[in-house]
Structure 1
Amino acid sequence: MTQGTARAQQNNIPVGIALMLAATVVFALQDGISRHLASSYNTYMVVMIRYWFFAAFVIALAARSRGGLRAATRTAQPGLQIFRGLLLASEICVAVFAFTVLGLIESMAVFICYPLLVAALSGPVLGEKVGWRRWAAIGVGLVGVLIILQPGMGVFNPWAVVPLISALMFALYGLLTRYAARQDSTATSFFWTGVTGAVAMTAVGLWFWEPMSAPDWRWMALLCVSGALGHWLLIKCYEMAEASAVQPFAYFHLMWTAILGITVFGETLRSAVIIGAALIVAAGLFTLWRERAQSRSR
């Protein structure tokens, strides 16, 4: 295959769903750690250090892969890859900032709308078909999210625009990742995501350096490892399956966040959480059942 020739894409829905579920677990863990660190240190510095590890990881991975660094860096769409990297780095900064000004739960109440943005844009951006049943499943999942959060006046705080911007940026990043996979491998997209973000964040974050305590350095190490893992899972997810098919399972991000709040921060398990989580799971299982039924009928 010559560079610039479209890659044959898979649409393995079960594998894509499994990758999305794994990614939501990792992202929920990152939310808690990010909130802890950003409450004590500058957001740019926290994101910069995370990206240093991320870049080192993708470079090491590329060096050990077939074709080495030369193969990983080779792309027919460098502008798109650079834009993806900058977009994700900016989105992470916006999301972490939202945790500090609006709080983790209220931020997630707004941010969790990003799967709907992906589903709405997957048609015009990627040319994917979104049927009414899939729209219905996504809608049921959103109802479950609203039941869990029971959003109060805090959601209508003017600061709520911050996680809304973050949601739009993350949705666009996911769609562009799927688009880039038509010509570039997962390794190439992963490399450009890490290196571009590291360069951009270093240019900004070094101006905001401040000392960090030993315990927080350990939390930072965990954040770095989970950051690399989470975004690799997401890249692989969009390479394996249509974005609109796996998005209902992104709602599990909120469920893991609720579990984290209960077990780590001592939050109370409300009946609304149980009802909402049941709706989210039901919506995801229905989507998987529909995809399998359609595959058998083809």
Structure 2
Amino acid sequence: MTGSDTQKGIWLMVAVTAIFAAQDGISRHLASQYNVLMIITVRYWFFAAFVLAMAARRPGGLARTAATRQPLAQAFRGVLLAAEVCVMVVGFVALGLVQSHAIFASYPLLVAALSGPLLGETVGWRRWGAIAIGFAGILVILRPGFAVFSPQALIPLAAALMFALYGLMTRYVARQDSAATSFFWTGTVGAVVLTPLGLMNWEAMDPRDWGWMALLCVTAATGHYLLIRCYEVAEASAVQPFAYLQLVFAALIGVGIFGEAIAPNVALGAGIVVLAGLFTLWRERAARRRG
């Protein structure tokens, strides 16, 4: 990789985080008025069409892209991500963008903590220390013992756990399948699973909100495309720390558009979580270089 490739990858990741934050804001708006399953189903229809179009353009077409020797693992990944998206959007409505993203930022720590028992990866004492500090940051956000604990705070934490498991499953299937194959299964399985649920919970939508729905679909496809391009031009370890900017962009949208407030404990806790997560990413990168 050249320096210019890394720089381009960083800017692509910044764009991705901004687009995904906008997508979260639109999801929050629509899910506050309509059934979450219906909203995510329509979004997945567009996502699946995008995935199929990308696969059709690859050498060997759809058949070669879809081919895998681990269909159950790939299908489980697809179901897990679809469920995580639904849970996280519920969190946006229940808690708002700021607090939901502050808690969700713990997912890299969960990946690090679970990579040992689930994938057999080595996690050194420094990363375990960072994981402990990160979860102390989560406690700062939740403030148990200092305020009435809201069970709703467990919603984005559950989403973070699901996304961490999805990330670990992605590492697992990557031992045999290409990124294109995993991407194909992610989009198509999610659409298949969500379609009957979305249709059962269908609601009439205001014509103006169909415009927001269309924008939600476009941001989803654009964000995923730019993320693919990002990983094509730069190493994942070099650009991954910038993924935390989604928390910043989501906070700006939450405060500026939805009138959310950033409580001091949420800001402090989120800072602790992000710093701990950045440290675990740095240690993981150093461990890979030594290996």
TM-score bucket of the superposed structures, by smaller chain: 0.7 to 0.9
* C-alpha distance in 2 between matches for 1:141 and 1:15: 30
Cα deviation code 1:254-294 (max 9, x no counterpart): 22221223443455678878877776776676667667777
* C-alpha distance in 2 between matches for 1:147 and 1:102: 16
Whether 2:87 is the aligned partner of 1:97: answer: no
1:128 is matched with which residue?
121
* C-alpha distance in 2 between matches for 1:119 and 1:66: 35
Partner of residue 38 from structure 1, selected from 31, 37, 40:
31
Q: How does 1:174-213 map to 2 (within 5 A)?
A: 174-213=167-206
Cα deviation code 1:46-104 (max 9, x no counterpart): 00000000000000000011111011110010011111111111111122122223333
So what's the TM-score if we normalise by structure 1? 0.75
**Relative to structure 1, is the Cα distance of residues 276 and 233 closer, same or farther in structure 2, using a 3 angstrom cutoff?**
farther
Q: Which moved more, 1:67-76 or 1:231-240?
A: 231-240
Partner of residue 173 from structure 1, selected from 162, 166, 173:
166
**Relative to structure 1, is the Cα distance of residues 177 and 23 closer, same or farther in structure 2, using a 3 angstrom cutoff?**
farther
- Matching residue's letter, 2:42: I
Extract unaligned runs of 5+ from structure 2: 1-5
* C-alpha distance in 2 between matches for 1:246 and 1:24: 11
**Relative to structure 1, is the Cα distance of residues 125 and 247 closer, same or farther in structure 2, using a 3 angstrom cutoff?**
farther
Q: Which moved more, 1:79-88 or 1:276-285?
A: 276-285
Whether 2:82 is the aligned partner of 1:80: answer: no
2:241–2:281 contact (8 Å) kept in structure 1: no
Q: How does 1:124-273 map to 2 (within 5 A)?
A: 124-137=117-130, 156-230=149-223, 250-265=243-258
Whether 2:47 is the aligned partner of 1:60: answer: no
* C-alpha distance in 1 between matches for 2:239 and 2:131: 10
* C-alpha distance in 2 between matches for 1:241 and 1:263: 32
1:118–1:244 contact (8 Å) kept in structure 2: no
Extract unaligned runs of 5+ from structure 1: 1-12
**Relative to structure 1, is the Cα distance of residues 295 and 52 closer, same or farther in structure 2, using a 3 angstrom cutoff?**
closer
Shift of 1:212: 1.9
Q: Which moved more, 1:78-87 or 1:245-254?
A: 245-254
* C-alpha distance in 2 between matches for 1:233 and 1:170: 20
So what's the TM-score if we normalise by structure 2? 0.77
Q: How many residues align?
A: 287
**Relative to structure 1, is the Cα distance of residues 33 and 262 closer, same or farther in structure 2, using a 3 angstrom cutoff?**
same
1:6 is matched with which residue?
none
**Relative to structure 1, is the Cα distance of residues 131 and 93 closer, same or farther in structure 2, using a 3 angstrom cutoff?**
same
* C-alpha distance in 2 between matches for 1:58 and 1:287: 31
For the aligned residues, what is the CA RMSD?
A: 4.2
**Relative to structure 1, is the Cα distance of residues 197 and 268 closer, same or farther in structure 2, using a 3 angstrom cutoff?**
closer
Partner SS for 1:128: coil
